[in-house]
Amino acid sequence: MKKLIVLLAVILTVLLPVFGGCNPEPSPPPMPSPAPAPVTSVLPAEHPRDFPENLRWLTEEEKEKAVEIALGTPQAQEWAQKESQYKTAIDWIALNPNPEGEGYSGYRKFEYEIVAEGIPRGMVDITPPGSPERVVSVGVPDDAEIYPDVTIWFGEPAEWIVSVAVDLETGKVVYAEGYPNLSHPARVHLEEPP
């Protein structure tokens, strides 16, 4: 019997604090964990801006030369044979050199007017105070190469898009790709409402 009383005393000593004991006052509610601040309230980040030599307002002659070079690529020639209607626009592209060798590992496009602001470079920590997660805004890597980029939309509405980065000093294509316009009506299949 004595062992039973000792056992009950040990159990009560251990369990009472776990379940709140005999304290008549309720324990305070647990502190909520802080939610991360919305990222949209701190974007866009202020990145260091870069103005490489070739990032400038292009003359009309330079724009025409860039479009002519872009229309001469195999990607554009293939679609020019299928579709006589096309539109062009000139923007800027930052090509990331491939760290494993030749070519590029990625790119980021900018509107033509970025000339006035400069290219955002590097990574900026924009973590809101008190946020448990780190938030960064990624600009263009420091070794990215900046070129005029000609975009060609083939068809009306555009069915195929060709994007061509042009080095105006050498008159050569630096990078070119073609891809379907996923917003083309023939590609968008919306379900009818019930």
Let me know: does 66 contact 150? Beta carbons within 8 Å.
Answer: yes
Whether the pLDDT of residue 56 is over 50: the answer is yes
Q: Is residue 18 part of a domain?
A: no
> Percent of the chain scored above 70 by pLDDT?
69
pTM of the model: 0.66
| Helix (H), strand (E) counts: the chain | 4, 9
Q: Is residue 88 part of a domain?
A: yes
Residue 112's pLDDT is what? 93
Q: Is residue 78 part of a domain?
A: yes
For residue 167, give its domain range: 52-180
Q: Is residue 36 part of a domain?
A: no
Bridge partners of 16, per DSSP, are: none
Q: Is residue 30 part of a domain?
A: no
Q: Is residue 77 part of a domain?
A: yes
Residue 41's pLDDT is what? 39
Amino acid found at 70: A
What is the chain's mean pLDDT, rounded? 78
How many structural domains comprise the chain? 1
> pLDDT band at 52, cuts 50/70/90?
confident
Instruction: Report the candidate in 123, 135, 125 with the shortest Cα–Cα distance to residue 37.
Output: 135
Q: Is residue 21 part of a domain?
A: no
Q: Is residue 56 part of a domain?
A: yes
Residue 65's pLDDT is what? 97
Mean pLDDT of 120-134: 82
Higher-pLDDT residue of 14 and 137 is: 137
> pLDDT band at 177, cuts 50/70/90?
very high
Residue 7's pLDDT is what? 47
Higher-pLDDT residue of 117 and 170 is: 170
Kindly report, residue by residue over 131-145, the tens digit of the pLDDT. 888 887 778 888 889
Residue 43's pLDDT is what? 42
Decide: helix, strand or coil at residue 45.
coil
Kindly report, residue by residue over 18-35, the tens digit of the pLDDT. 444 554 455 555 555 454
Bridge partners of 109, per DSSP, are: 93
Residue 13's pLDDT is what? 55
The Cα–Cα gap between 154 and 174 comes to 21
